[in-house]
Amino acid sequence: MLSFLIRRLLQTVPTVLAVVMLVFVLFSVVPGSIISTMSDDSDPQVEARMKKQLGLDEPVYMRFGAYVAKLATGDFGTSFRTREPVTTMIAKRMGPTLQLIFASMAFAVVVGVPLGFVAALRPGGIVDSAAMVVAVSGLSMAKFWLGLLLMYLFALKLGWLPSFGYGDGGLKYLILPAVTLGVSPMALLARTTRAAVLEIMTADFVRTARSKGMSETRVVKWHVMRNALVLILTTMGLQFGALMGQAVVVEKLFSWPGIGSLLVDSVLQRDIPAVQGSILVVVLFFLAINLLIDVLYGVIDPRIRYA
Amino acid sequence: MFRMIAIVAGLGLALAGSAEAQTPRKGGTIRMTAPYGSSFTSLDIHTTQRAQDEIYAKALHRSLYIWDSAEGKPVPELAKEVVVSGGGLVYTFKLRDDAYFHNGRKMTADDVIWSYNRIMDGAKAYPGARYVRVIEGAAAVEKGQAKEISGLKKIDDFTLEMKLTEKVDPGFYLFTALTSIYPADEAAKEGFIQKPIGLGPFKFVEHVPGSRIVLERWDRFYKPGKPYADKVIVSVMGEAAARDVAFRNKEIDTSVLGPAQYVAYQSDADLKGTIVEVAEVFTRYMGMNPAFKPFTDKRVRQAINYAIDTDLIINKLVKNKAYRATSWLPLTSPLYDKTMKPYAYDPAKAKQLLADAGYPSGFEFEWTTSQNESWGLPIVTAVIPMLDKVGIKAKVKQVETAILAEVVRSGDYQAFVYSQQSGPDPQAALKCFHSSTPQSACNYMNFKNADFDKLIDEAGQTDDAAKRGQLLQKANALLYEEAPVWFFNYNKAVMAVQPWLKGIQLNATELTHQNVEDLWVDETSPAK
C-alpha cells in the first residue's frame, strides 16, 4: 500500500510540471499584460521599471526556471494585482471552494445514486422514465441559467433562501450554489448507477445468488451495490475534479468567495502568478481526489490489489 | 458657478428631492453593490484604478478634495482653507485639525506628503501618479531622480504648500480615491493591506475576497452628525441577472442597470420609480488612425460620421441608455455647448465626401473592438452595413478589453471603438488631443493640429476663467470639425435605488461612487 502511494505520488510530479509549463508558456505568449491594466497613463520609463520589478523583462525560460525553483519551496509568488503572496490569496479562497464542492458532491451522491438504483430496479417503469428525464435535464441545463431559476424560485418567489453571497458561511447561503453546481454530477451519477446496476443485475454471480435462495434485498445489498460502487466511485472522482472548474460560473453568479472568482479576475487582469497558483491548486486537487479514489477501490473490492 | 446638468428620470428626481426634505435617520445598514467584476482588486486603493474598488474606498478613505455632485466640481475635503498665490501655481492648504485616522491618530501635513510620495514611486507604477504628476517635482520622484516631491512643503503640522507644474485646478486631480491620504506610519507596515486604515466615515471590519467588504461607522469622523448609517456592506455582484433578482428580493439597496434591464425596469410599474440616471463624463467613439491613408483625410473621417445612423443605434441597440455625442465634451461638462448639433445621418453626403477625398469606391479597414455590449462588438456589427452602403468595408478584429487598452495606447490599429473619460475637467479632457500629449497617455488618435494646440495653450495661460472657457469651447468645436473620431455617445449611467435609501448623489464622474456619509436608510429598510 505504502509503495503504491509513493509510486502514485511520484507519478503526479511530471503531470504537475507539464501543467505548470503549459500555463506559464500560454500566459507568456497571449497578448496583454498586467501593466496595461494598472494605469491608463503611465510613462514608458515607469513601465520599464515596473517590468523589471515584476521580472517581466527577462526571457521566458529564465522566468520559468525561477518560478519552478520557487514553487519547489512552496512559494507560489506574489500577486501582480494585490501584491499579496499567492498562497495567502488561495488560502483565503480555498475553504469556501471546498465547502461548495463537497456540498455539491454530497447533493449529487445523496440524490443521484438512489435515483439511479431505483430506476434500475424497475427498468422502463414510470420511476425509471421520470428519473432519466431528471438526469438528462440536469446534464443539459446550463449552470448559469439553472442558478438563476433557483434564485428566482427559492429566493424571490418563496423567500426561503438568500439569493447570493457567503453570509456567515452558514447552510442557507450554501444550498443554492451547491445545488446549482451539484445537479450535473447528480444527473451523471444517476445515469451511471442505473447502467451499472442494470449490468450487474444480469451477471452470473447475481443469478447464482438468487438461485441459492438469497432474498432480493440481500442480493442488491451484498452483490449489486458493492459491485456498482466501483463505477460510481470512478465517476465521483472525475466529477470532483470537474467541479473545481465548473465552480467558476457558480461562484461568480452567487458572489461565492472561492478560487473560481479569483481565477476569472486574475486571468482578465493578467495577474500571472495568481492564475498559475489557482490552476495549480485545481490540478493538485484533481490528482489528490483521484489518488483517494484509487485507494478506495481496494477497500470496496478486495480483488483489486496495489501491485 | 461650475454648471452641472444632471438628468434624473421619473421618480428618481422625486426620490432625491424628497430625501432632502426628510430628517436623516441614524442607524441601519447600507447595502451597496460592486458591479464591475468578480472581486475587488486590492485593499490598497493606491494600487488600483478600477471603478469597482473606489466604491468601498469612498467609505473608507478620504482625499485632499472630494467630488461635490450637486455643484458638479471638486471641493476641498481635508482642508479648511485654500489660498492661491504665485500666479495660480502655488496652493496653500490649511488642513483640517479634526481629521482622525481609524487608528485614532490625527492627520497632519506629513501624511499628505508621505502619501503623494508613495504614489509617485515609479517602481510600483501606482495609477494615481498621473494625477500627482501635476505637483512640481513629482515626475522626478517617479523617474527615480529624486526621493521627495520638491513641490510639497510642510509649513506646520496643519499647513501645506503645494507648487503646481501648470495653471490648473488641483481639485480635478486630487479628488479620487487613487490619491487617498494614508497614515504615514501605519501604511508602511506589512499588515496594512489586510486591514486598511483611512480617514473616511466608515472603518474597515471585514473583507471576504470575491464576496463583500463590511465597514462600520467611524465615530470620530470630522463631519458633525455623520455618517448616518451604522454599517456599510459592499457586495461584489458582477452578474447583472443575479443583481436583478437580489434587488427585486430587497437584499441589496443599489444595482447598476445595463441596457436590457433599463428597458425592463422602465416598463415595470413597481421598479420604474427606483431608477436614477446621470450623464457620466465618458465619451464613446470610433478612433481613426491618421497614419492609415484614408483616415489622414479629414473628409474621410467626416464621411464616416455622416454614414452612420447614430440615433438609430442609440435607440435600438443601446436602448436609449446613452446621449448622442455632439463633440468630445460630454453633457455634464461645464463647457458643454448645447448649440452644437451632431453629424446628421446623410449617406449621400458621406459618398460625396469620399469621392472628393479620392475614394469614390470606398476602401477597407480593420476595426478593433472588445465585446462590450454598450460600445463594443454589437455596435460595430450594426455599423458595418451602414458603412458598407457608402462603399466602406470594415473587417472586425475582436480583442479582450485589457488588450484593447494596450492596442489604443500603442497605436497598433487602423480603427478602434472605445469609451474614454472626457471629464470632469474640460481642460484636462481636451488636452488629451494636444500634440504634446503622448499617444500612450490619452492622445490615442495621435491627433496633431496647430490651431487646436494654440487654443489649448492659450487656455492654459489665461487667468480669466470666462476666456478660458471660450477658448476650450472653440477647441471642442474644432475637434468636431476635424472629426478624429466617430462621435458616438456619452454614457448614461443608470442605477436602481431602493426607496428606503436616501441621499443618493448624481455623480457624473461615476454614479456608483457615493459619498457614503450623506446616505441614510429609513425605517422601512429590511436591513436593520
If one compares B391 and A199, the residue with the highest pLDDT of the two is B391
**Residue A39 confidence (pLDDT):** 64
Give a three-class secondary structure readout of B207-253.
EECCCEEEEEECCCCCCCCCCCCCEEEEEECCCHHHHHHHHHCCCCC
Give chain A's domain count. 2
Residue A154 maps to a domain: yes
Cβ-count burial A249-286 (b if 16+ within 10 Å, e if not): bbbbbbbbbbbbbbbbbbbbbbbbbbbbbbbbbbbebb
A305 has a pLDDT exceeding 80:
no
Could you tell me the maximum CA-CA distance found in chain A, to the nearest angstrom? 86
What's the average model confidence in pLDDT over A12-22? 87
Nearest CA in chain B to A44: B440
Cell of B471: 477658448
Cis peptide before B227, with omega less than 30 degrees from 0? Answer: yes
**Residue B2 confidence (pLDDT):** 39
For residue B31, the 8-state DSSP code is E
**Residue A42 confidence (pLDDT):** 57
Q: What is the average pLDDT score of chain A? A: 86
pLDDT per residue over B19-73, tens digit each? 446 899 999 999 999 998 878 988 999 988 889 999 999 999 999 999 999 999 9
Contact B237 A89 (CB under 8 A): no
How far apart CA B128 and CA B172 sit, in angstroms, is 12
Residue A223 maps to a domain: yes
Are the C-beta atoms of residues B377 and B396 closer than 8 Å to each other?
A: yes
B8 has a pLDDT exceeding 50:
no
Which phi and psi (to 5°) does residue B80 adopt? -85, -25
Contact A268 B409 (CB under 8 A): no
> Quick one: A92 and A21 in the same domain?
no
- A131: distance to nearest CA of chain B, Å? 29
**Residue B41 confidence (pLDDT):** 87
Residues in chain B: 528
Nearest CA in chain B to A163: B246
Are the C-beta atoms of residues A36 and B409 closer than 8 Å to each other?
A: yes
Find how far residue B415's CA is from the centre of its chain: 23
How far apart CA B264 and CA B272 sit, in angstroms, is 9
Are the C-beta atoms of residues A276 and A88 closer than 8 Å to each other?
A: no
Residue A81 maps to a domain: no
Q: Residue A231: which CATH number?
A: 1.10.3720.10
Task: Tell me how many residue pairs between chain A and chain B have CB atoms under 8 A apart.
Answer: 161
Rounded alpha-carbon distances, angstroms, from residue A102 to A98, A161, A179, B229, B261: 6, 20, 11, 38, 35
Q: Alpha helix locations (H) across B411-511?
A: 426-431, 450-461, 465-482
> Quick one: A100 and A194 in the same domain?
yes
pLDDT per residue over A101-128, tens digit each? 999 999 999 999 999 988 988 888 888 8
Lowest mean pLDDT segment, chosen from A226-235, B144-153, B426-435:
A226-235
Final residue of a structural domain among A72, A97, A125: A72
Identify which of A3-7, A168-172, B326-330 has the greatest average pLDDT: B326-330
B153 has a pLDDT exceeding 50:
yes
B450 has a pLDDT exceeding 50:
yes
B504 has a pLDDT exceeding 50:
yes
Contact B130 A39 (CB under 8 A): yes
B183 has a pLDDT exceeding 70:
yes
Helix (H) or strand (E) holding A243: helix A225-253
Final residue of a structural domain among A21, A43, A72: A72
Report which of B336, B332, B356, B353 is spatially closest to residue B344, judged by C-alpha positions.
B353
- From the CB of residue B207, how many other CB atoms can be counted at a distance below 10 Å? 20
Cβ-count burial A202-225 (b if 16+ within 10 Å, e if not): eeeebeebeeeebeeeebbeebbb
- B138: distance to nearest CA of chain A, Å? 13
**Option in B39, B124, B235 nearest A265 (CB):** B39
**Residue B15 confidence (pLDDT):** 46
If one compares A236 and B467, the residue with the highest pLDDT of the two is B467
How far apart CA B232 and CA B212 sit, in angstroms, is 10
pLDDT confidence band for A41 (50 / 70 / 90): low
Find how far residue B250's CA is from the centre of its chain: 28
Tell me which residue has cell 490619452: B442
B125 chain-A contacts, CB cut-off 8 A: 35, 38-39, 42, 46-47, 49-50
> Quick one: A12 and A151 in the same domain?
no
Pairing of strands B501-502, B485-497: unpaired
B375 has a pLDDT exceeding 70:
yes
DSSP string for residues in B157-218: TTEEEEEBSSS--GGGTS-SGGGPPPPHHHHTSGGGGTS---SSSEEEEEEETTTEEEEEE-
> Quick one: A64 and A197 in the same domain?
no
pLDDT per residue over B452-473, tens digit each? 999 999 999 998 999 999 999 9
How far apart CA B424 and CA B176 sit, in angstroms, is 12
Using a 10 angstrom Cβ sphere, with 0-12 exposed, 13-18 middle and 19 or more buried, the burial of residue B351 is: buried
What's the average model confidence in pLDDT over B235-255? 96
Contact B249 A156 (CB under 8 A): yes
Contact A49 B123 (CB under 8 A): yes
Contact A265 B241 (CB under 8 A): no
> Quick one: A96 and A167 in the same domain?
yes
**Residue B16 confidence (pLDDT):** 47
What's the average model confidence in pLDDT over B134-153? 95
pLDDT confidence band for A294 (50 / 70 / 90): confident
What's the average model confidence in pLDDT over A55-74? 87
Contact B236 A35 (CB under 8 A): no
Residue A306 maps to a domain: no
What's the average model confidence in pLDDT over B421-437? 95
How far apart CA B29 and CA B22 sit, in angstroms, is 18
Residue A307 maps to a domain: no
A221 has a pLDDT exceeding 90:
no
DSSP string for residues in B289-348: -TTSHHHHSHHHHHHHHHHS-HHHHHHHTSTT-EEE-SSSS-TTSTT--TT--PPP--HH
Residue A78 maps to a domain: no
Residue A120 maps to a domain: yes
How far apart CA A168 and CA B390 sit, in angstroms, is 60
Give Cβ neighbours of residue B345 (< 8 Å, ≥ 6 apart): B306, B308, B309, B310, B311, B312
> Quick one: A92 and A236 in the same domain?
yes
Q: Is the dihedral of CA B138, B139, B144, B145 positive or negative?
A: negative
Helix (H) or strand (E) holding A286: helix A272-300
B236 chain-A contacts, CB cut-off 8 A: 255, 261
> Quick one: A32 and A163 in the same domain?
no
> Quick one: A281 and A151 in the same domain?
yes
pLDDT confidence band for A217 (50 / 70 / 90): confident
Contact A38 B49 (CB under 8 A): yes
What's the average model confidence in pLDDT over B119-127? 86
> Quick one: A30 and A99 in the same domain?
no
Contact A46 B143 (CB under 8 A): yes
**Option in A33, A152, A251 nearest B245 (CB):** A152
> Quick one: A24 and A123 in the same domain?
no
Contact B212 A163 (CB under 8 A): no
**Option in B143, B249, B409 nearest A45 (CB):** B143
- From the CB of residue A117, how many other CB atoms can be counted at a distance below 10 Å? 20
pTM: 0.89
Nearest CA in chain B to A161: B249
pLDDT confidence band for A43 (50 / 70 / 90): low
Question: Where in the sequence is the domain holding A225, given as residue range(s)?
Answer: 86-300
Are the C-beta atoms of residues B241 and A148 closer than 8 Å to each other?
A: yes
Contact B127 A40 (CB under 8 A): yes
> Quick one: A180 and A117 in the same domain?
yes
Final residue of a structural domain among A14, A42, A72: A72
pLDDT per residue over B201-241, tens digit each? 999 999 999 899 999 999 999 999 999 999 999 999 999 99
**Residue A34 confidence (pLDDT):** 74
Cis peptide before B424, with omega less than 30 degrees from 0? Answer: yes
B403 has a pLDDT exceeding 90:
no
- From the CB of residue A65, how many other CB atoms can be counted at a distance below 10 Å? 12
Q: What is the average pLDDT score of chain B? A: 93
**Option in B122, B209, B241 nearest A46 (CB):** B122
Type of residue found at B194:
Q
Report which of B267, B269, B60 is spatially closest to residue B183, judged by C-alpha positions.
B60
DSSP string for residues in B348-393: HHHHHHHHHTT-TT--EEEEEE---TTTSHHHHHHHHHHHHHTT-E
If one compares A108 and B127, the residue with the highest pLDDT of the two is A108
How far apart CA B443 and CA B485 sit, in angstroms, is 12
pLDDT confidence band for B127 (50 / 70 / 90): confident
Which phi and psi (to 5°) does residue A110 adopt? -65, -35
CA angle at B67 for the pair B518 and B441, rounded to the nearest 5°: 145
Pairing of strands B364-369, B393-398: parallel
ipTM of the complex: 0.85
- From the CB of residue B2, how many other CB atoms can be counted at a distance below 10 Å? 15
Find how far residue A119's CA is from the centre of its chain: 27
Identify which of A27-36, A45-54, A229-238, B357-366 has the greatest average pLDDT: B357-366
B5 has a pLDDT exceeding 50:
no
Are the C-beta atoms of residues A29 and A55 closer than 8 Å to each other?
A: no
> Quick one: A123 and A207 in the same domain?
yes
Residue A28 maps to a domain: yes
